[in-house]
Structure 1
Amino acid sequence: MLSTTAQQCPFVPGGEAGGAEAGRARRAESNEGQPTLSFEKNTPYVDYAGIDTLLGLQRPRTAEPAESAFIIATQVMELLFSLVRERWEAARDALEADDVPGALAWLRRACNAQDVLNDSWGLLADMTPTEFNRFRDSFGEASGFQSYGYRKLEFLLGNKSAAMIRPHKAMAGVANELADVLERPGLYDAALRLLHRRGLPVPADRVERDWTQDYEPSAGVEAAWTAVYADDKPGNDLFLLAEALLDVAERVTRWRHRHLVAVKRTMGAKPGSGGSNGLTWLSRNAEQDVFPELWSLRSSV
């Protein structure tokens, strides 16, 4: 015999989920299929997603219309940094747990988020240098270089540097979060450790090392990946992992190039607001391969 709760929730017997589903069905029936139009307070949509708070964060400092697009694009990117990070961390943790199918699923989801992230540069694609000049002084020394959300992504990719935590030292919580990512294996480190556990010749100094140090290319790692590519059958999960990682790496490179082009278009070779030399800094970063051995092996296989 069904429990009292189950009898009250015929759509999904038992549990709170069934009760919620039954409630939605009753509302739809009462509304004759039309959306609810009357609420005593904020709409549930506004409360759930914090829409009032979100829109209240767009506070241009000048009358230049392009500044609104700049702020919105920046905020969209920050939200997407967080989503990409969550998915890369989930993929890393799956690899550490020997769950390659799970890691592949998270990497696919990360790539979807990266595609949206890269497309967000389109919000700034039509900004002219004169428009940018009319509000640039208003943000002073603010620079995307200071984004701790983006810095977490770089750390997860293996671009480690304790000095990059320094700009956030006055933000104790943020500095601690960055230090945690700095001190743990990154996404690529987790993949190499998995290869080692599978019996591939990954050098010992890539299996256990000082994770706070920047990743450096290794001929031994390239040899291990080359062995993976020697068996490119669809059933080889390590081959699928290699290609999924390269999908991630390629999208990172696209992001960097789009950043470079956006800056070149809006301000040319002027110094950056955060103290860098602008285009030179970005060009150097754009030329740096992510997961380098997955690129270099293509010259020899």
Structure 2
Amino acid sequence: MTTTGFHGAQLDFSKDMSYGDYLQLDKILAAQTPLSPDHNEMLFIVQHQTSELWMKLMLHELQAAVAHVATDRLPEAFKMLARVSRIMEQLVHAWDVLATMTPPEYSAIRPYLAKSSGFQSAQYRRIEFMLGNKNAAMLKPHEHRPELLAEVRAAYDAPSLYDQVLQLMARRGIAVPAAHLSRDWTQPHAADDGVKAAWLTVYRDPQAHWDLYQMGEELVDLEDAFRLWRFRHVTTVERVIGFKRGTGGTGGVSYLRKMLDVVLFPELWSLRTEL
């Protein structure tokens, strides 16, 4: 039977792929399986599943952005990095929903979580590594899943986004210290006066280095959004569980607070004092 509406439009979807088919909604909407009898566990599951979906898109964009930077295709990279920043903003607001869960509500579902923890998110770890926060200890939580470990290790072994940008600057004739152009990519970037001097060359004459100047600001936008995401994570966890240890054995809030001190692109922040 065909239904007609919307000024005579034919609403017969029986012969073509439907909205639900395209999005595979049957699979997605069947993936929420609470383990406890508590009403609030559905919120906890949906919050984390949707965050993982946003992170999947973030990785899709970051991987392409890094590839474009490596091949000097900056307009495409700018678009992708701007999108990553907007995704992070979306994730910041997602914490507002989880923050409606009170401590007694979380305590009711916590025993059912066993050792599962956001600390084990392979996608989040790949994002951290791609942004330069390298730490070999963060490979260990994924050792029980060889296929995931391989993906996380690949991000750990590869040059970060910032490493690729510094190589880009060198290709454009900016004097970047050689130690930052060929090094052990598994080590986090360390703040360097020579790298700051390279960025100051760009920022003191934006017209002459406009695309590198724009790249610098894209990176600052990205880290700014990432800091907000981390901060909102800390405050939400403290609001819901206080200073209890995390389910995965981490220090919970104390560990997350330490992460707030991590600076991904230090020279882009410190140079502002000298402009």
Residues of 2 paired with 1:79 and 1:252: CA distance?
A: 17
Stretches of 4+ aligned residues off by more than 2 angstroms: 31-41, 232-235
- Alpha-carbon distance, 1:259 to partner: 0.4
Aligned to 1:130: 104
Residues of 2 paired with 1:33 and 1:150: CA distance?
A: 48
Aligned 8 A contact 2:195 2:267 in 1 = yes
Aligned to 1:148: 122
Q: Which runs of 5+ in 1 are unaligned?
A: 1-26
1:64-105 CA deviation, whole Å, 9 max, x = no partner?
Answer: 222111110000100111111111111111111011212111
Aligned to 1:299: 273
Q: Across the two proteins, how many residue pairs are aligned to each other?
A: 273
Change (3 A) 1:61 1:100: same
Task: Establish whether residue 88 from structure 1 lines up as the match of residue 62 from structure 2.
Answer: yes
Residues of 1 paired with 2:10 and 2:28: CA distance?
A: 24
Normalised by the length of structure 1, the TM-score is: 0.85
Task: Establish whether residue 69 from structure 1 lines up as the match of residue 20 from structure 2.
Answer: no
Q: 1:237 aligns with which of 208, 211, 219?
A: 211
Counterpart residue identity of residue 39, structure 1: S
Aligned to 2:75: 101
Give the match's secondary structure for 2:263: coil
Task: Establish whether residue 39 from structure 1 lines up as the match of residue 14 from structure 2.
Answer: yes
Counterpart residue identity of residue 300, structure 1: E
Aligned to 2:236: 262
Residues of 1 paired with 2:124 and 2:181: CA distance?
A: 26
1:21-65 CA deviation, whole Å, 9 max, x = no partner?
Answer: xxxxxx9x9x97525345379x62222211111111111111222
Aligned 8 A contact 1:141 1:274 in 2 = yes
Query: Which structure is larger by alpha-carbon Rg, 1 or 2?
Result: 1
Q: Which moved more, 1:66-75 or 1:206-215?
A: 206-215
- Alpha-carbon distance, 1:234 to partner: 9.4
Normalised by the length of structure 2, the TM-score is: 0.93
- Alpha-carbon distance, 1:272 to partner: 1.1
Aligned 8 A contact 1:196 1:202 in 2 = yes
Residues of 2 paired with 1:38 and 1:58: CA distance?
A: 27
Higher RCO (CA 8 Å, separation ≥ 6 residues): 2
Q: 1:206 aligns with which of 180, 184, 190?
A: 180
Q: 2:227 aligns with which of 245, 249, 253?
A: 253
Residues of 1 paired with 2:113 and 2:237: CA distance?
A: 16
Residues of 2 paired with 1:92 and 1:179: CA distance?
A: 17
What is the alpha-carbon root mean square deviation over aligned residues?
A: 2.2
Q: 1:193 aligns with which of 150, 156, 167?
A: 167
Residues of 2 paired with 1:118 and 1:233: CA distance?
A: 34
Aligned to 1:58: 32
Task: Establish whether residue 48 from structure 1 lines up as the match of residue 17 from structure 2.
Answer: no
Change (3 A) 1:191 1:142: same
Aligned to 1:24: none
The share of aligned pairs that are identical, in percent, is 37
Change (3 A) 1:62 1:40: farther
Counterpart residue identity of residue 186, structure 1: S
Residues of 2 paired with 1:232 and 1:66: CA distance?
A: 52
- Alpha-carbon distance, 1:170 to partner: 2.4
